[in-house]
Structure 1
Amino acid sequence: MSVNIQKSYSNEQASGKLYLVGTPIGNLEDITYRAVRTLREVKWIAAEDTRQTRKLLSHFEIGTRLVSYHEHNKQASGPELIRLIQAGDDIALVSDAGLPAICDPGFELVQLAIEADISVIPIPGANAALSALIISGLPTDRFTFVGFPPREGKPMQQELSSWKKAGGTIMGYESPHRIVKTLTRIAEGLGADTPLCLVRELTKKYEEAIRGTIAECLEHLEAHPPQGEYCFILNVEGQGDEADQQSAWWRELTSQAHVGKYEADGYDRKEAIKLAALDRGVPKRELYNELHRDR
């Protein structure tokens, strides 16, 4: 494979360009002058949700034609957009909010553009995860964006293991109806005393940041039911190396003794089995059955 060199503003290209345009994540004042100008000047705007984007265009009196590009039509729509760009049209790609190509199929359109030797131009704008990070009060020198965590138990366990190895600050997204369950699983894997910042309604009237340990934030959510989309920021600095060094503490123990150690530390039987199963990388039910066979 040969190296790909992009000269973003070269006049030698006969084709158009693909612009990745950042849009507001809540407050419409967060759009840039350059973004508005670009949306006015391009031939087409490819939008994740044309209804949502039409509201934005109407507010700024932008009359550019809209086309749909999303997860369910990307296989057909992507090549057609590339064909239009190759014919000389400039196209702007936008998501419902924030920067396109993050947690949406935009990156696949970018890949197609690169393969077709089309310039891909970023038009910077608001981003929810980075905005939450800088107000979290947690370290910003090393961080990992994880998007939406897995919903199933085993993939989530694997995800948590990778977070431990990565260390640093972890940032991701979660919906209001899943945030409590997700944080509970994170507490089981990383510890309930892990520093956490929960941010919701960014740039909007009810913007809120909740800072504390996972346990403290879960307690807050019990008293104040979750509302709005959440960004979560966790700090697991140093846990990766420590976890590698200490991961063998239970290996010489029987399953019964392993669970007993957690019970001695103050956990009830059910929670002790859950934690031991997480250590051993086995389903909780499997460990439960093993314990009862050994009685």
Structure 2
Amino acid sequence: MQSIPHVDMSVHTKDFDSFVTAIGEGYEVNGFVALTNHGIPDETIHAALDATRDLFALPEDVKKQYHKPGLGGARGYTPFGTEIAKNAKHVDLKEFWHVGREVADSSKYPQLTPNVWPKELPSFKETTTELFNALDELGNQVLEGIAVYLGQPRDYFRTRVNEGNSILRPLHYPPIVEEGTPSVRAAAHEDINVITLLIGSREPGLEVLSKSGNWIPVTILEGAIICNVGDMLQRLTNGVLPSTTHRVVNPPAPHNQKSRYSIPFFLHFNPDVVIDALPQCVTAENPKKEAPITADDYLMERLREIGLVK
């Protein structure tokens, strides 16, 4: 049994009205869908996962040269044991690298800082940039369906995310060596951003908290891309589209003895976009929950909560 709804992305061009219904109703269930027939070649995905494995196989002292203190993990390397989920007691068992949008020096957003590239892996830049651009476009197609489902123009999101501080995060969960560790690979959390697209992982562990309060292991069709609602979209829709709690648990043997690699893409609003509940998402039964806030102010507030910004 599939644990989250599957949405066929080929319907986006064949029958957009049907796509709008499928994507909107899929997200209203629990904020997660799996995208099939998404058009991103297997070669692009596998090349990025292989590059991720090669990246984290570099020596610790080499990787740490690319850690940029004070940037809040915005670009480059974030070491093992740095990030902690909001309200969690233990750091997550992971290390990661952030690749952002490639921007010109003339960008009006100082938040879009230059990328950090590992000189030891010259192909990493091309591989991850190709995946970044592919997921950025796929995310925009998903957002077209969401926009119309919410009663907005089809291009409502495109002009609001085209210079967003979106992040591709090659991610490594090392083997679990400490038996009975209180830490997990990624503690229960919600994503900060608009939507997240996840490729990989080739190993089990991702679980979603259902409305009934049960943890559901995510099982998807081979090659599908998981795509979930983030807190920014939940805030914009006044909770109509939920940002669902999820986690990556420490798997049972033998999976716990192997590294897990995955690559989420966190799609963000442009920094100056004001996140305010859409009027059609506010009713007597669902009164407005949050005050307006800019995307950048909200991001900074949340990054402080999870320990990436001090």
Same-fold call, TM cutoff 0.5:
no
Which structure has more relative contact order (CA 8 Å, sep 6+)? It is 2
Question: Which structure's residues are more often helix, by fraction?
Answer: 1
When the two structures are superposed, what TM-score results if normalisation uses the length of structure 1?
0.28
When the two structures are superposed, what TM-score results if normalisation uses the length of structure 2?
0.27
